[in-house]
Chain A
Amino acid sequence: MSPPHRLLPLTATAGALAGLLLAAGCAQRPVAAARDIYPVAEAYYKAHPDFFLFKTPADLPQNLVWQDGHDVPEFADSDAKRGGTLHYFIDDFPRTLRFVGPDDNGSFRPFILDDDEITLIQRQPNTGQYYPGLARAWALDPDGRTMYFKLDSDARYSDGAPVKADDYLFAFYFFKSPWIVEPWYNNYYSTNFSRITKYDDYTIAVTWKEPKPDIYDRVGQVYPVPEHFYKDFGPDFVQRYQWTIEPTTGPYTVLPQDIQKGSSIDLTRVPHWWADDKPFYRHRYNFDRIHLEVIRDPAKAFEAFRRGDLDSFGLYGSGFSLPEYWYEKMPNRDPLVRDGYIHKVTFYNEIPRPTYGLYLNEDMPLLNNRDIRLGINYATDFDLVDKEYFHGDYVRMQTSADGYADVPFPHIHARPFSVEKALEHFAKAGFTSRGPDGILVNAQGQRLSFTITTGYATMKDVLTILKQQAAKAGLEYNIEVLDGTTAWKKIEEKQHQIAFSAFSASVEKYPRYWETFDSVNAHKAQTNNLTNTAIPAMDLLIAAYDQATTMDQIRSLATQLETMVHDDAAFVPGFEIPFYRVGFWRWIRWPKDFNVRLSLYAGQFGVEWLDPQVKADTLAARSAGRTFPPAVETYDQWERKDD
């Protein structure tokens, strides 16, 4: 199930390709036709002197406090062994290998961009501190919106070229260019950043438009774009770079011979990767190769995993978190699990949760009445769904923004199912008697009936349970399951009465409210204010929230905002999955505490490795009929314990 997208965080640039291809490409083109982007970019910098600043190291502020993350603990396991090929699958062949531009947002992108590229600084996924990325030291200006970076002179792209300050200047030129045909990037880089300053080849400063409590995440996540690779950058970017891969600063790249269009694609570890032996990067990204077979049907991929053709199921993704796979397709009594060949792990992570729930459209008749909304909150039995349908694995979502470790709401709880309370609120709204079918009617003969629109066909069973339970409180739900795109269109145009939907939340430090609850986004199409919430007092708070500069302010305002969301009762919190689950053949090994707090899925931070000795043993044991002790483990060190 894939929730409709929200603007995901900055995931910009840079990638990988053998210099071989580049050289070959140049040789074939007549010299006269070759473009050179350098003068064009330089001219652009000159034309925008407010954005692109050039200074000398002597201009650096004197009183900066430089940090280098030396006191941050490493999180990889020193027992990890480098080597081997991991066999896994992707559900579709990438439609492009570009990092930006049309079709870039597919399931393959994490492998070459999100989980691969090294940013300026990186967040330690257990402690939330920062450790060096492409910058070996960094400092925050007292203005709260400018960060200074000393680039690591060891850093190299996969084609051997060093990473320099010019690549960051070029990144801004690149991402603002209309040639990449990606308005989101254009807008993000134009409206959020104020300027970039080059002090020398290895020192830069990047300035955000305003001070932010999470400035480290915003500015520190900028990627360099290798200028030398894009020297032919032009209006034909989309076609020209469709199947080439940008040189990467990360551990894995794709070699041209490993692109089998439509059937498979391999990632190869960059030989002598620049960060191989650096703290925070050693003992990670341990596979020499990652072979990704295109298997379009997850059920088929699962069979391939059972057969041993794939080393894991759920390593990069959430497939195994579905109760269906965990309990029914591969229960603990399954011979492969019982005999210890396949291990199953449940890992509780702590990340912002997708917001599954009911969004009540306050512009619709009856739903504009707060008592009706409160009644609906009490009449919607997500607890039963979590407990019975999801085997008690899923837990009730409590607020509209669960899972932000730095911004908890321990005192706000979703309203429990209660027929009495629901009836009490419905009665206040004039619905006092039940019709012949048990559904409440008011004095005008109007029935208390609403349609729930959703694009999640896989969730229709959840809605049928809600429908049955709501009938007890005299509330009728009609279920409208539409094709994903159609449903989302209807919901975005605010044509729904009640929408069952979710926003994916990116791993940020604190939640966003402007998109979903500000009146600017109410009563109009194509915005994420699905409830059409428009409360003047709330707008003021949101404005203050968006200008807050410290986490204390953020926490206090967020608590007020979340309380208002709760009181307004237009969002019925649904459920969340507080963990991910993964199954793997026993030769895939993990650190002692398995994984890190902020991981979205098990393979995200590359802490696992493949033990060839164990693999040989296991295969020999299997053919000899020898078994191992079973391993079905739960790691709950990061589980939310407040309720």
Chain B
Amino acid sequence: MSFQLNPLTRRQLQRFRAIKRGYLSFLLFGFLLLLAAGAELLVNSRALIVRYRGRLYFPTYSAFHPGTDFGEDYSYETNYRRLAQKFARAHDGDWVLLPPIPYNPYENDFRPGVYPPTRPSWRERHLLGTDTTGRDVLARLFYGFRTAMVFSLLYMAFVYLLGVAIGCAMGYFGGTFDLVAQRLVEIWSNIPFLYIVIIVASLVTPNLGWLLVIVVLFSWTGMTYYLRTATYREKARDYVAAAEVLGAGTGRIIFRHVLPNTLSTIVTFIPFTLANAITLLTALDFLGFGLPPPTPSWGELLRQGTSNLDAPWIVTSTFVALVVVLSLVTFIGEAVREAFDPKKFTVYQ
């Protein structure tokens, strides 16, 4: 069964591209996602390339290199920043190419006589300063963004899978099934989600998977209402009756006929779901019920920032990052909604 976009949807996509602010936001956001995917190449304590005694090494994605690999006297992970300085002083043809931000989000960069958090410094390459344990704020922001994105995209996928499947089934089959399922959804959506998270977080340390499962379990219900309505509407259309008459099976009708026509409903919600997921994860981390330390996360940074207002670079950079990302997503969402607005295409009789 292939899943074809109908002409209407294609026109809607064209319209979306025509909305400049939304489309630019979309491109920028896509670019950020791309950067985040390659974060190890941009923000990392491991060098991109090391040339040592005529051989080239690419440590970024490889197994770790103990210091002894490059003539150092320790067996733990090479400190490439120091190696770079050493090679530069030695002038014997060896060199190290470091990423633009030569820190990973976990390492504590303690310097003699200075106590973290330290203010932003170009010389130390801590462009946004360090946090209370001397970790680079930019690195943590960057990897925190990636964590948030992975979480949000997975969250979205699962919420939609559950919400669409159940909502669609409710609308399509209707009757008693619809009645019972709706009541169950109502009951389920009344369970206080935050308490569940608090209870679970006090019993186990939630990792990304755990957190995702809990959050998804309590978030899919909203989607069912829209899908149920949309399916009801589509099901009553003549083309569905025609397909039935032609002998199409339930699966074929749902996937080939009904779902593609409800796509506009789903698509409109995507950006807002994404924004929701980011806010949710940040809020949970802020409250201390989120990902375990030392996972980089925006909520944790915000919390550090608000309790260390005398180190304004922490809270400011996190806040700005949060605002920028949420604005981008919201702009995209607005544009999508406008592009997919049924009023633009429906002729009311």
Contact = CB atoms under 8 A, between A and B. Distances in A.
Contacts of B107: 468
B115 interface: yes
A371 B116 CA distance: 35
A388 to B, nearest CB: 4
B229 interface: no
A472 B76 contact: yes
Contact of B63 (A437, A467, A481): A437
B64 A482 contact: no
B115 A468 contact: no
A323 B205 CA distance: 28
A324 B117 CA distance: 11
A460 B293 contact: yes
Contacts of A327: 115
A473 B64 contact: no
A388 B110 contact: yes
B64 A324 contact: no
Contacts of A388: 108, 110, 115-116, 134
A509 B205 CA distance: 40
A434 interface: yes
Interface residues of A, number: 38
Q: Pick the most buried of A329, A437, A438, A482: most chain B CB atoms within 10 A of its CB.
A: A438
Contacts of B308: 324, 328
Contacts of B203: 482-483, 486
A275 interface: no
A544 B64 CA distance: 52
Contacts of B106: 464, 467-468
B288 interface: yes
A284 to B, nearest CB: 37
B116 A328 contact: no
A634 B308 CA distance: 25
Contact of B288 (A384, A391, A435, A457): A457
Nearest to A453: B205
Given A391-B115, A464-B133, A479 B64 contact: no
A332 to B, nearest CB: 13
A471 interface: yes
Given A419-B75, A461-B132, A434 B205 contact: no
Interface in A459-484: 460-461, 463-465, 467-468, 471-474, 479-483
Nearest to A486: B202
B275 to A, nearest CB: 28
B76 A483 contact: no
A483 B293 contact: no
Interface string B287-320: 0100011100000000000011011000000000
A495 to B, nearest CB: 12
B201 interface: yes
A61 interface: no
A389 interface: yes
Contact of A438 (B64, B110, B307): B64
A463 B288 CA distance: 16
Interface in A256-283: none
B66 interface: yes
Nearest to A437: B64
A436 interface: yes
Given A436-B63, A457-B288, A384 B77 contact: no
Interface in A392-431: 419, 423
A465 B310 CA distance: 22
Interface in B85-122: 106-108, 110, 115-116
Nearest to A327: B115
B74 interface: yes
Contacts of B116: 388-389
Nearest to A323: B115
Interface string A479-505: 111110110000000000000000000
Contact of B76 (A391, A464, A473, A486): A473
Contacts of A468: 106-108
A474 B67 CA distance: 13
Tell me what chain B mostly uses at the interface: helix, strand, loop, or mixed.
loop
A436 B292 CA distance: 23
Interface string A313-332: 00000000001100111010
Contacts of A467: 106, 294
A328 B134 CA distance: 15
Given A391-B115, A461-B133, A482 B110 contact: no
Interface string A436-456: 111000000000000000000
A479 B133 CA distance: 16
A612 to B, nearest CB: 34
Contact of A482 (B74, B75, B115, B202): B202
B67 to A, nearest CB: 10
Contacts of A457: 288
B42 to A, nearest CB: 21
Interface in A281-320: 299
Nearest to A474: B76
Interface string A36-51: 0000000000000000
Contacts of B310: 328-329, 331
B213 to A, nearest CB: 18
Contact of B75 (A389, A434, A481): A434
A483 B66 contact: no
B52 to A, nearest CB: 18
A455 to B, nearest CB: 10
A438 B76 contact: yes
Contacts of B77: 438, 471-472
A461 B133 CA distance: 7
A485 B203 CA distance: 10
Interface in B107-156: 107-108, 110, 115-116, 132-134
Given A438-B76, A471-B76, A479 B311 contact: no
Given A461-B133, A463-B293, A328 B311 contact: yes
A419 B76 contact: yes
A465 B205 CA distance: 19
A169 to B, nearest CB: 46
B62 to A, nearest CB: 8
A438 B77 CA distance: 7
A391 B106 CA distance: 20
Contact of A480 (B74, B115, B292): B292
Contacts of B307: 299, 324
A434 B293 contact: no
A450 to B, nearest CB: 14
Nearest to A467: B294
A366 to B, nearest CB: 20
Nearest to B62: A436
A387 B114 CA distance: 11
Contacts of A384: 108, 110
A438 B292 contact: no
Contacts of A323: 115
Contacts of A486: 202-203
Nearest to A331: B310
Contacts of A482: 202-205
A585 B202 CA distance: 40
Interface in A47-76: none
A449 to B, nearest CB: 15
Contacts of A299: 307
B133 A389 contact: yes
A472 B74 CA distance: 9
25 contacts: A323-B115, A328-B310, A387-B110, A423-B75, A435-B63, A436-B64, A457-B288, A460-B293, A461-B132, A461-B133, A463-B293, A464-B133, A467-B294, A468-B108, A472-B76, A474-B75, A474-B76, A479-B205, A480-B205, A480-B292, A481-B205, A481-B292, A482-B203, A482-B204, A483-B201
Please list the 7 inter-chain residue pairs (A to B) with the smallest Cβ-Cβ separation, ordered nearest first.
Answer: A483-B202, A436-B63, A472-B76, A464-B294, A388-B110, A438-B64, A460-B293
Given A436-B63, A480-B292, A483-B202, 12 more contacts: A323-B115, A327-B115, A388-B108, A388-B110, A434-B64, A438-B66, A465-B133, A467-B106, A472-B76, A473-B76, A479-B292, A481-B205
